[in-house]
A and B are shown apart, each in its own frame.
Chain A
Amino acid sequence: MSNIPKELNYTKTHEWIRKDGDLLVVGITDHAQTMLGDLVYVELTGLESHVENGQECGVLESVKAAADIYSPVAGEVVEVNETVVENPQLINDDPYGRGWLLRIRPFDKDMPGLLSSDDYSKVVASEAH
């Protein structure tokens, strides 16, 4: 079973979200990095770009697949993790830590639709079938 930290929120598309003051830190889950395999390329949207809830904000490429990263909220991208762009393997090694992808300033305080760790565990479990 993959690691799904209790304190984080999640999306059905396998992003995790950590509140950091007014900002949100976004990455992909341990389950997602396991499914993708060794990551070789990361492309992230530009700084200051405005993203909609569910909009693509990056691309991940592994040795066997490519996947889009979707923004969990509407907001402005205030920081991108240049370190993972240079070293995509960080996402495999430490998906909830050094493998973070974007820091977003949400437009609304309310962020409906985010999943709890329990809800996300069910998503992962249902995909196992």
Chain B
Amino acid sequence: MPFIPHTDQDIQEMLDTIGVKNIETLFDEIPDELRPAPLDEIPSGVSEMVLTREMAERAKADGGMLSFIGAGAYEHHIPAAVWDIAARGEFYTAYTPYQAEASQGTLQLIYEYQSMMASLMAMDISNASLYDGATALAEAILMAVRLAKKKGKSIILMPKTIHPYYRDTVKTIVSQQAIELLDVPYSKSSGQIDLKALDSLYSQDAAALVIPQPNFFGVLEEVDALTDWAHEKNILSIAVVNPTAMALLKPPGQWGNQGVDIACGEGQPLGVPVSSGGPYYGFLCCKKAHVRQMPGRIVGRTVDSDGKTGFVLTLQAREQHIRRAKATSNICTNQGLMVTASTIYMSLLGPQGLRDVALTSHENAKQLKAALTAISGIEQVFKSPFFNELVLRISKPVDDVLAALASQHIQGGFALQAVYPELGNCLLICATETKTKEDISRLANAMQEICSNSSRFAASI
């Protein structure tokens, strides 16, 4: 039964009332070529049992892979307790409740999340989360433009070392506004933002500089110098960071002499499993002075009339249910369930545990580099410090190498050619704490074979 409350008789009565013969007539004004063609190519359905069997068979094709792909989503060990607790009925909702203050437990959880995230980033304030890392960066840029209050257009300095998908998303979101995104090139040798080029790109219209850490190539940027550069030029600085890395590296609130103005990024590494396209979540933190321009919800702690601690949604005058068209953002919710998992994840690991995860990931990435660059025909492209991933140049076509590895149930990394044509034979490869010595040896042995044995390699393509 479809969940439509109208009976055929109801529908006929409504049609008679407005003097229309049938429902189809209501769509007459839409030209025929825009109407959907008949869907008779789609076969009739199969039973749930048959479908489940079919999907299980197909899942085998890409299941059980040993993955060395990072490139913005990171496979970390998630303690079993995380999703066991997150999936409890009390938490299992993705939504901020409408009558928010009636749900004190949810608000307390978000408050704890904000406290942890602000602490991890060394920033004053965190919001209750956003949609994902890429949109969090777009929101951070819109926020910076509001803060900068430029007359006319605002220029955002966007290094090419930022995740290319983030750059695309930002372009989509800000392109209809008086905002110009200016590419900042990277050094071909270090893989870092080219500081000299940055100097030459500066103009009076510049509103903000975005600083990735680590950058898309896994390389660590010179964040202190970049943050200070931005402040000297009197423009805002926006950090876009891997949160796990911030447990090991200097957090954005401490970069340079004053710290960055806004820090954002993808929250997935903190307890959210990698999956194709999410759901993930974005985080956004800022200095207290900027909070009125922050997008999204913010939970605050207060006391009630009896002096008991309670939690409320605060600073709501920024939001669209009050400010309407002048709201800081049309983001009016948060990724509640993902944030729940992250908060439990961070609680279970604690600062030291998170640091251990980051350090082990880094150690494994170093081992990965050593094992792979020992193979003739493979070299590290950027000679710079890195966190948990790095770029390798391979003497064989990367797509073929990846296909050969896939046939051995190894996902060997992210081919850079599609997004960086100048890095045609380059592979972005990652190791987290989930990779063992044996895993790395298995990859290295397979690579060794692929790179040396041209006949076998030729056969596999």
| Chain A contacts to B: CB under 8 angstroms | 41, 43, 61-62, 65-66, 68
Contact = CB atoms under 8 A, between A and B. Distances in A.
A41 B322 contact: no
A43 B293 CA distance: 12
5 contacts: A41-B292, A41-B317, A65-B317, A65-B322, A66-B317
A110 to B, nearest CB: 28
B323 interface: yes
Contacts of A68: 326
Nearest to A46: B149
Contacts of B326: 68
Name A's interface SS: strand
A61 B317 CA distance: 7
Interface of B: 292, 317, 322-323, 326
A35 to B, nearest CB: 14
Most buried by B among A43, A61, A66: A66
Nearest to A65: B322
A43 B149 CA distance: 13
Contacts of B317: 41, 61-62, 65-66
A43 B322 contact: no
Across the A-B interface, give the 10 residue pairs with the lowest CB-CB distance, nearest first.
A66-B317, A61-B317, A66-B323, A66-B322, A65-B322, A41-B292, A65-B317, A41-B317, A43-B292, A68-B326
A55 B149 CA distance: 16
A66 B292 CA distance: 12
Given A41-B317, A61-B292, A61-B317, 9 more contacts: A41-B292, A43-B292, A62-B317, A65-B317, A65-B322, A66-B317, A66-B322, A66-B323, A68-B326
Contacts of A66: 317, 322-323
B312 to A, nearest CB: 11
A68 B317 CA distance: 12
B291 to A, nearest CB: 10
A41 B326 CA distance: 16
B297 to A, nearest CB: 16
A68 B324 CA distance: 12
Contacts of A62: 317
